[in-house]
Amino acid sequence: MFRPICLRVGIAAVLAYPAFSQTKPSIAAADVKSGTQDATAAEVLAFERAMEAAVVRGDVAYVERVSAPDLSFTHGDGWTTGGKPLLVDDRASFLKRVANKQYNARDLDSVKVEMHGDIAITYGRYVAQNRTGNPEQSWFSVWFERVYQRRNGQWLYVSHRTVHGPTYGPTRDSVKDK
Protein backbone atom coordinates (compact mmCIF):
# COMPACT_ATOMS: atom_id res chain seq x y z
CA MET A 1 0.00 0.00 0.00
CA PHE A 2 2.88 2.35 0.80
CA ARG A 3 4.41 1.77 -2.62
CA PRO A 4 1.38 2.81 -4.76
CA ILE A 5 0.99 6.04 -2.76
CA CYS A 6 4.68 6.89 -3.17
CA LEU A 7 4.44 6.10 -6.85
CA ARG A 8 1.40 8.37 -7.27
CA VAL A 9 3.06 11.22 -5.36
CA GLY A 10 6.23 10.81 -7.41
CA ILE A 11 4.33 10.88 -10.71
CA ALA A 12 2.34 13.94 -9.60
CA ALA A 13 5.57 15.73 -8.64
CA VAL A 14 7.18 14.96 -12.00
CA LEU A 15 4.10 16.16 -13.89
CA ALA A 16 3.74 19.32 -11.79
CA TYR A 17 7.42 20.32 -11.90
CA PRO A 18 7.33 22.02 -15.35
CA ALA A 19 4.37 24.17 -14.38
CA PHE A 20 5.97 25.43 -11.18
CA SER A 21 9.49 25.82 -12.52
CA GLN A 22 8.64 28.24 -15.36
CA THR A 23 10.00 31.74 -15.09
CA LYS A 24 7.20 34.27 -14.82
CA PRO A 25 7.45 37.82 -16.15
CA SER A 26 7.67 40.49 -13.53
CA ILE A 27 4.36 41.91 -12.38
CA ALA A 28 5.47 45.39 -13.46
CA ALA A 29 6.14 44.23 -17.03
CA ALA A 30 2.76 42.50 -17.26
CA ASP A 31 0.98 45.56 -15.84
CA VAL A 32 2.69 47.92 -18.28
CA LYS A 33 1.67 45.80 -21.25
CA SER A 34 -1.96 45.46 -20.21
CA GLY A 35 -2.07 49.10 -19.07
CA THR A 36 -0.87 50.26 -22.48
CA GLN A 37 -3.40 48.06 -24.24
CA ASP A 38 -6.17 49.30 -21.93
CA ALA A 39 -5.16 52.91 -22.60
CA THR A 40 -5.15 52.33 -26.36
CA ALA A 41 -8.54 50.59 -26.19
CA ALA A 42 -9.92 53.56 -24.23
CA GLU A 43 -8.47 55.89 -26.87
CA VAL A 44 -10.25 53.91 -29.61
CA LEU A 45 -13.56 54.02 -27.72
CA ALA A 46 -13.23 57.80 -27.28
CA PHE A 47 -12.41 58.11 -30.99
CA GLU A 48 -15.51 56.07 -31.87
CA ARG A 49 -17.75 58.21 -29.62
CA ALA A 50 -16.35 61.42 -31.14
CA MET A 51 -16.94 60.06 -34.64
CA GLU A 52 -20.55 59.13 -33.81
CA ALA A 53 -21.18 62.61 -32.36
CA ALA A 54 -19.75 64.19 -35.52
CA VAL A 55 -22.10 62.06 -37.67
CA VAL A 56 -25.11 63.35 -35.71
CA ARG A 57 -23.86 66.97 -35.89
CA GLY A 58 -23.36 66.66 -39.63
CA ASP A 59 -19.67 67.52 -39.28
CA VAL A 60 -18.52 66.32 -42.69
CA ALA A 61 -15.01 67.79 -42.34
CA TYR A 62 -14.35 65.84 -39.13
CA VAL A 63 -15.81 62.56 -40.40
CA GLU A 64 -13.87 62.89 -43.65
CA ARG A 65 -10.65 63.51 -41.72
CA VAL A 66 -11.11 60.39 -39.55
CA SER A 67 -12.43 58.07 -42.29
CA ALA A 68 -10.08 56.02 -44.43
CA PRO A 69 -10.24 56.73 -48.17
CA ASP A 70 -11.20 53.05 -48.60
CA LEU A 71 -13.98 53.11 -45.96
CA SER A 72 -16.63 50.42 -46.41
CA PHE A 73 -19.92 50.59 -44.46
CA THR A 74 -22.19 47.55 -44.81
CA HIS A 75 -25.80 48.18 -43.75
CA GLY A 76 -28.10 45.36 -42.70
CA ASP A 77 -27.41 41.79 -41.68
CA GLY A 78 -28.66 39.98 -44.79
CA TRP A 79 -25.08 39.13 -45.71
CA THR A 80 -24.72 37.06 -42.50
CA THR A 81 -27.01 34.36 -43.91
CA GLY A 82 -25.72 34.38 -47.49
CA GLY A 83 -27.98 37.17 -48.74
CA LYS A 84 -27.23 40.72 -49.73
CA PRO A 85 -26.78 43.63 -47.35
CA LEU A 86 -29.34 46.42 -47.44
CA LEU A 87 -26.70 48.79 -48.77
CA VAL A 88 -22.94 49.28 -48.87
CA ASP A 89 -21.58 52.81 -48.53
CA ASP A 90 -18.14 53.87 -49.61
CA ARG A 91 -16.58 56.97 -48.09
CA ALA A 92 -18.28 59.40 -50.50
CA SER A 93 -21.79 58.00 -49.96
CA PHE A 94 -21.27 57.78 -46.20
CA LEU A 95 -20.19 61.43 -46.13
CA LYS A 96 -23.42 62.33 -47.98
CA ARG A 97 -25.38 60.75 -45.12
CA VAL A 98 -23.38 62.85 -42.68
CA ALA A 99 -24.01 66.02 -44.72
CA ASN A 100 -27.75 65.27 -44.80
CA LYS A 101 -27.80 65.06 -40.99
CA GLN A 102 -29.79 61.86 -41.31
CA TYR A 103 -29.76 61.11 -37.57
CA ASN A 104 -31.09 62.79 -34.43
CA ALA A 105 -29.15 60.32 -32.30
CA ARG A 106 -26.59 57.50 -32.63
CA ASP A 107 -25.79 56.28 -29.14
CA LEU A 108 -23.19 53.56 -28.62
CA ASP A 109 -24.00 50.73 -26.25
CA SER A 110 -22.19 47.59 -25.05
CA VAL A 111 -19.08 48.31 -27.16
CA LYS A 112 -15.95 46.21 -26.64
CA VAL A 113 -12.51 46.60 -28.20
CA GLU A 114 -10.10 43.98 -29.48
CA MET A 115 -6.59 45.35 -30.11
CA HIS A 116 -4.12 44.04 -32.70
CA GLY A 117 -1.28 46.57 -32.69
CA ASP A 118 -2.33 49.37 -35.03
CA ILE A 119 -5.64 47.63 -35.79
CA ALA A 120 -8.63 47.92 -33.46
CA ILE A 121 -11.82 45.93 -33.84
CA THR A 122 -14.86 47.19 -31.98
CA TYR A 123 -18.10 45.33 -31.63
CA GLY A 124 -21.30 46.35 -29.95
CA ARG A 125 -24.49 48.19 -30.66
CA TYR A 126 -25.79 51.61 -31.42
CA VAL A 127 -29.32 52.89 -30.96
CA ALA A 128 -30.24 55.60 -33.44
CA GLN A 129 -33.10 57.83 -34.47
CA ASN A 130 -33.69 58.94 -38.06
CA ARG A 131 -34.68 62.57 -38.64
CA THR A 132 -37.29 61.69 -41.26
CA GLY A 133 -39.29 58.72 -42.46
CA ASN A 134 -41.90 56.39 -41.07
CA PRO A 135 -42.63 57.30 -37.41
CA GLU A 136 -43.14 53.58 -36.64
CA GLN A 137 -39.52 53.03 -37.71
CA SER A 138 -38.05 56.23 -36.31
CA TRP A 139 -35.76 54.39 -33.86
CA PHE A 140 -33.53 51.44 -34.65
CA SER A 141 -30.77 49.39 -33.14
CA VAL A 142 -27.82 47.85 -34.94
CA TRP A 143 -25.26 45.37 -33.64
CA PHE A 144 -21.99 45.90 -35.47
CA GLU A 145 -18.34 45.08 -35.89
CA ARG A 146 -15.97 47.87 -36.93
CA VAL A 147 -12.32 48.12 -37.88
CA TYR A 148 -10.05 51.06 -37.14
CA GLN A 149 -6.43 51.41 -38.20
CA ARG A 150 -3.76 53.75 -36.93
CA ARG A 151 -2.09 55.27 -39.99
CA ASN A 152 0.64 57.86 -39.56
CA GLY A 153 -0.21 58.09 -35.86
CA GLN A 154 -3.94 58.80 -36.43
CA TRP A 155 -6.86 56.41 -35.98
CA LEU A 156 -8.99 56.01 -39.11
CA TYR A 157 -12.42 54.46 -39.53
CA VAL A 158 -11.90 51.66 -42.07
CA SER A 159 -14.92 49.36 -41.97
CA HIS A 160 -18.37 48.86 -40.48
CA ARG A 161 -20.43 45.69 -40.79
CA THR A 162 -23.89 45.31 -39.32
CA VAL A 163 -24.08 41.84 -37.81
CA HIS A 164 -27.66 42.08 -36.50
CA GLY A 165 -30.30 44.55 -37.54
CA PRO A 166 -31.48 47.07 -38.08
CA THR A 167 -34.35 46.42 -35.71
CA TYR A 168 -36.94 49.20 -35.96
CA GLY A 169 -39.49 50.68 -33.57
CA PRO A 170 -41.39 53.90 -32.81
CA THR A 171 -39.47 54.73 -29.59
CA ARG A 172 -36.04 54.25 -28.06
CA ASP A 173 -37.54 51.85 -25.51
CA SER A 174 -39.02 49.71 -28.28
CA VAL A 175 -35.53 48.88 -29.63
CA LYS A 176 -33.36 49.09 -26.52
CA ASP A 177 -33.26 45.32 -25.94
CA LYS A 178 -33.18 44.17 -29.57
* Cα angle: 76, vertex 43, 100; to 5 degrees: 40
pLDDT for res 37: 76
Beta strands 67-75 and 87-90, pairing class: antiparallel
pLDDT value at 5 more than 90: no
Distance CA 148, CA 46 (A): 12
The residues spanned by each domain of the chain are 27-175
- For the entire predicted model, the pTM comes to 0.78
* pLDDT tens digits, 88-131: 999 999 999 999 999 999 999 999 999 999 999 999 999 999 99
Give per-residue pLDDT as tens, 26-78: 333 333 345 667 999 999 999 999 999 999 999 999 999 999 999 999 999 99
Alpha carbons 79 and 9: distance in angstroms, whole number: 57
What confidence score (pLDDT) does residue 20 get?
A: 39
User: Does the structural domain 27-175 have CATH classification 3.40.50.740?
Assistant: no
15 or 64, higher pLDDT = 64
Residue 9 has pLDDT above 80, yes or no: no
**Is 158 a residue whose pLDDT tops 80?**
yes
Q: How far apart are CA 68 and CA 156, in angstroms?
A: 5
pLDDT at residue 110, rounded to an integer? 94
Whole-angstrom CA distances from 106 to 2, 88, 121 are: 71, 19, 19
pLDDT computed for residue 133 by the predictor:
85
- What's the rounded Cα separation, in Å, for the pair 120 and 35? 16
- Note the pLDDT tens digit of each residue in 123-137: 999 999 999 889 999
Half-sphere exposure of 103 (CA within 13 A, CB side): 23
Element (H, E) at 166: strand 154-169
